[in-house]
Structure formats: C-alpha cells, structure tokens
Amino acid sequence: MAVVPEHRRENLEPLLVTTGNPDSIVSKFPLLDSAITETLRLCALPGSVRVAGRDVEFPLDNGGSFRVSSVEMVMLDTRVHNMREDFYPEPRTFKADRFLPGKDDSTDIPKIMSWGGGPHVCKGKVFAHHVMMVWAVTFLQQYDFTTHDVLPEIDPGSWNVIADPAVDIAIDLTSQN
C-alpha cells in the first residue's frame, strides 16, 4: 500500500460508520482487501491439523515414500496450494491487486487455503479479516510510511502462524497529525 498512495486517504471516513454489513468494508476498499488476502497467501504458515481416516502412502522426490497410518495426526502445508503457479502466476511475487474482482476478465479467482476449507474452515475468518481491514485503514489514516528495502525472502525457520522475513525491514513512519 505504500506504493499506492492514492488509496490511502480517499474514502476512509465511511469505514468508521458502517452499514451493519461486515462486507461493506470490503466493497469500500477492494485493493486493501486484495492486499491483505495476498499477504495471507504469501505469509500464512500451515496450521491445518487433521487425523488420517485411512492409511496413505506419499511418493517422495527421491523415489522413496512416506507412510501415514490411519488415526495419525497430519499437519497440512497450505503453502503447497498457495504457491501453485497454475493458480497464482509468479506465486512468490507480492501483487496487491491479485485478488481484485474482475481483474483479467476473470470471475473465478482461486481461494487461498490459509483459512482452511470445507467443514474445517476457520470459524473466525470473517471477523479476523475485518479486524485486519479496520487496523490497516486506521494505520493508513494515522501514518505516512515508506520502506527503502526490497521485500526479503521468508525465513524458512519461521514456526508460528505467520512467516517472518529472513531479515528485518526498515520502515520510516511519520505521523499525519
């Protein structure tokens, strides 16, 4: 968003007085919604734990295999889906507008798997996404910010819910007040 200043201040006030429809914030700030979804696609780490319903054997690149027995717990890595080049061209590149509706004349935008899916989808995903939108709009109302760094790779040693950058990112903040 730092590189798209025209989206920073225009139409931010209506956010604070919503119509009671939680989707209204998304319709008012489609680029911000897309940027948050793109951030989650790139940075959310696997957190989807399931119990295997049957024995499964997975082939490995080295010709071997990995066996999961029924009733064993398995953590699924959602990055396998979120980094698919056939779904997301240039999957390792941050594109704030990747999830804008109608982009590329397509109505079928693949869904990210960071929230899980089906009957196991995160029950708080709408609330969490709304909070991220409100926080981002409030931040953009209060501060001007710039970074001079190119976004670093993600630290492969990240273990929490959100991946850490491999190196710190220097950000200059200036209060708008």
Integer CA distances (angstroms), 141 to 1, 106, 109, 135, in order: 12, 32, 29, 10
DSSP assignment letter at 119: G
The stretches of the chain forming alpha helices (DSSP H) are 13-16, 24-28, 30-43, 79-82, 125-142
Closest CA to 174 of 152, 147, 145: 145
Judge whether 43 is annotated as a binding position.
Answer: no
Integer CA distances (angstroms), 68 to 9, 55, 59, in order: 52, 6, 11
User: DSSP of 145-162, one letter per residue?
Assistant: EEE-SPPPPBPTT--SSB
79 phi and psi angles, rounded to 5 deg: -65, -25
Residues annotated within the binding site for heme are 122
Task: Indicate the annotated binding residues.
Answer: 122
